[in-house]
Chain A
Amino acid sequence: MSEDTIIGDIDVLVIGGGLAGAFAAIKAKEAGAANVVQVDKASVGRSGCSAFGAGVMRTFLPQEDDRDKAVYENVMRTNFLCDQERLEHHLEDCFARIKEMDAFGVEFEKTPDGQFERILARGVSRMVMFKGGYKMMEAMRKAAIKKGVKIVDRVMVVDLLTDNGRIAGAVGFSTENGQAFEFIARSIVLAAGGGWMKGRRPGHRNITGDSMAVAYRAGVTLAGLDSAEANTGPAMYDIGPGNNMYMSAGAILVNADGERFAGIYDEDLKERTELSVLNVACSIEARRGKTPLFLDMTHIEPEKVQRMKRVIPLPMMMYERAGVVVGDKFVKRIEWVIEGPHCKGGLMLNSRYETTLPGLFTCGDAMPTVGPQGQSALPGAMTSGARAGMYAAEYAAAVSPPKINPEQGSELRKRMFAPLKRKDGIEPDQVLLSLQETITPYDVLILRHEQRLAKALEEVEGIWHDQVPLLYAYDPHYLRMAHEASNIVLVAMMMLKSALERKESREALREDYPYLDNANWVKLVTVQKEGERMSIGAAPVSLERSKLQPAKEKSLNPLWQVAEKQGIIRIEEGKVRWV
């Protein structure tokens, strides 16, 4: 193995190559940071969720949309968990960022008079469309390079370096040749995405909770890890994403009896309902024995299919290859499932996007991504990334260079290379499958009960103690896979512990605590490493400066109310009984 590469004197190090990271790097440069480096374990712009974005972004346009209504929608749909101050930032900045992307060369669908064309897809906010996530990110990569951002591809950051309680840098390795990398940085923007579990989702299998795992090991407080969501997709084909385009075009979801059921849970939006509602609707159908479920798009008009081919070119190629799309028609309905859960939690942050570790900033899906707009997915990545980059540059300008502790660096390198040094051991695939079998069933993290959560936690802790220490890597590629598997297991453990802590039904439904408890639970569950112990707590959502305030009362979660009204459940002694 060749010698270590040390990249020093960095003002802002951006970890992650998606839309959040791109905007962070660009805005850090614009804010005056001289040395901005962006690193990705794959390659910047072709990695993470963004390159596989489903061609749409919820967008707030000040000249067309009602700001108070947007705030109301977002706060109500998250039952007060969304950060209203950051939501205001998003609404303030959204249109400016879209215009910048347009100027960087991102190809949006436009009306004949040159305006951004928008559609209603999932939820109530209208969405702009662009032609392919990977093309969008190609333009962003070029824009970052043009601004003077230095790109480091194929280096996976594994741990953070600290200097007396502030950020000092990061260590990682090249997935090409196994060389160790050390970055010495005044500030870092951690933008390495959320916590997907390599589930049924092409394009999302390299988003492995790295942000959360890296931050946890450095003692940073995490929040919202009880919040899990699954996207939906085909059961038999490895095809995705595209749900927003399907639902926008009028896709219909039916159960095994041919009944269209989404409208039971959301009368207005039906299949266009938010994912959290769709997750519950599908899971209740499964609990009632009404699977398999099917998505039917056979009635969709050719011009809408043509648009799908422009906006989500990759999934449409897959459907054609599978014989589901012929010409401009879907020719068969598709067996449909909820995919494995992904963790919507992230690094706890203040209104300057700084985490509990001074000098460490975060954005995009590495933040707690609560809320349908502004704090999640591409729109949230775009606006939060820009702010995080700007604030990180301001921080870097105000502090002295960090001191590197050689002992810390050497300890972290030892941990990083351990799977390569071992003579034999467990393949990452084995760990991954054990984990997926534990947490993928719908009745673990979507429909919840203490007993099932506790059993899953016991199994995941078993994987953590028995399998993860034996992870073995044949070469630098497998070293990446080993760290990804380890990070996924760590995040799953944090998710299950956090889910056990929330004793109410808010985003996810608890059978044993079916009430939405605004008197006690307008809080984010927090996780922090204390010595070797994983400490779980709760932090109230700051509502001091918020326009909307919850009534401090407890009521049956609205989705449980629907199920009760339908005669699917009844409440006995404060708990759900299935009828």
Chain B
Amino acid sequence: MGVRKIDVSACIGCGTCIEYCPMDVLKMDEESQKAFIKYLRDCQDCFLCERVCPNNAIQCIPVYERRIPLPW
């Protein structure tokens, strides 16, 4: 949920997003040294990665991609 896109041309491979993500969603690709979205379903849509990225490479959107039941 949430994190949609890491722009590989903008990613500088600093690892800040990976370090911050509370849900362990993002990983570093060893070959290209760029971050990638590995566990999309576990993203908690907190926007923290987008906020802390020093090069504005990440984009999130606030929609549920996994059904969470409603109370009524």
Query: B-contacting residues of A (Cβ < 8 Å)?
Result: 42-43, 46-48, 51-52, 134, 154, 175, 198-200, 202-206, 230, 235, 237-239, 283, 286, 291, 313-314, 317-319, 321-322, 337-340, 429, 433, 436-437, 440-442, 446, 477, 480-481
Contacts and interface: CB of A to CB of B under 8 A. Distances in A.
A205 B44 contact: yes
B47 A317 contact: yes
B1 A238 contact: yes
What 4 pairs between A and B have smallest CB-CB spacing?
A205-B44, A318-B62, A42-B22, A286-B72
11 contacts: A42-B21, A43-B20, A46-B21, A134-B20, A134-B52, A175-B24, A202-B46, A314-B47, A318-B60, A321-B60, A321-B61
B72 A436 contact: no
A459 B63 CA distance: 29
Contacts of A313: 51
B71 A286 contact: yes
Contacts of A477: 24, 38-39, 42
B70 A235 contact: yes
B51 A238 contact: no
A51 B22 contact: yes
Interface in B1-42: 1-2, 19-24, 38-39, 41-42
A48 B23 CA distance: 10
Given A42-B24, A314-B47, A440-B70, 12 more contacts: A46-B48, A134-B51, A202-B46, A238-B45, A286-B72, A314-B46, A321-B62, A337-B70, A340-B68, A433-B69, A440-B69, A440-B71
A314 B72 contact: no
A317 B48 contact: no
Contact of B42 (A286, A319, A481): A481
Most buried by A among B1, B22, B45, B70: B22
A134 B63 CA distance: 21
Chain B: interface secondary structure?
Answer: loop
A109 B42 CA distance: 33
Contact of A437 (B23, B69, B72): B69
A319 B41 CA distance: 21
A340 B69 contact: yes
Interface residues of B, number: 32
Contacts of B69: 340, 433, 436-437, 440-441
A199 to B, nearest CB: 6
A521 B64 CA distance: 40
Given A46-B48, A286-B72, A340-B71, A480 B41 contact: no
B31 to A, nearest CB: 18
B44 A202 contact: yes
A321 B39 CA distance: 22
B63 A237 contact: yes
Contacts of B19: 43, 46
A338 B22 contact: no
A238 B72 contact: no
Contacts of A338: 71
Contacts of A230: 71
B62 A206 contact: no
B15 to A, nearest CB: 12
B14 to A, nearest CB: 15
B68 A47 contact: no
B70 A237 contact: no
Given A202-B2, A429-B66, A477-B24, A134 B71 contact: no
Nearest to A317: B47
A494 to B, nearest CB: 20
Most buried by A among B1, B64, B69: B69
Contact of B48 (A51, A204, A283, A440): A51
B16 to A, nearest CB: 11
B21 A429 contact: no
Nearest to B22: A42
Nearest to A446: B71
A446 B72 CA distance: 12
A206 B41 contact: no
Given A134-B51, A291-B72, A314-B51, A238 B39 contact: no
B64 A238 contact: yes
B38 to A, nearest CB: 8
Contacts of A446: 71
Given A433-B67, A440-B71, A46 B62 contact: no
Contacts of A322: 61-62
Nearest to A319: B62
A132 B52 CA distance: 12
A183 B51 CA distance: 34
B20 A46 contact: yes
B20 A204 contact: no
Contacts of A51: 22, 48
Contacts of A205: 23, 42, 44
B25 to A, nearest CB: 9
B50 to A, nearest CB: 7
B27 to A, nearest CB: 9
A199 B48 CA distance: 18
A339 B71 contact: yes
A371 B23 CA distance: 29
Contact of B62 (A48, A154, A202, A436): A202
Contacts of A43: 19-20, 22
A433 B68 CA distance: 7
A249 B37 CA distance: 37
A339 B48 CA distance: 21
Contacts of A199: 68
Nearest to B67: A433
Contacts of B72: 286, 291, 337, 441-442
Given A340-B71, A477-B39, A47 B22 contact: yes
A437 B39 CA distance: 23
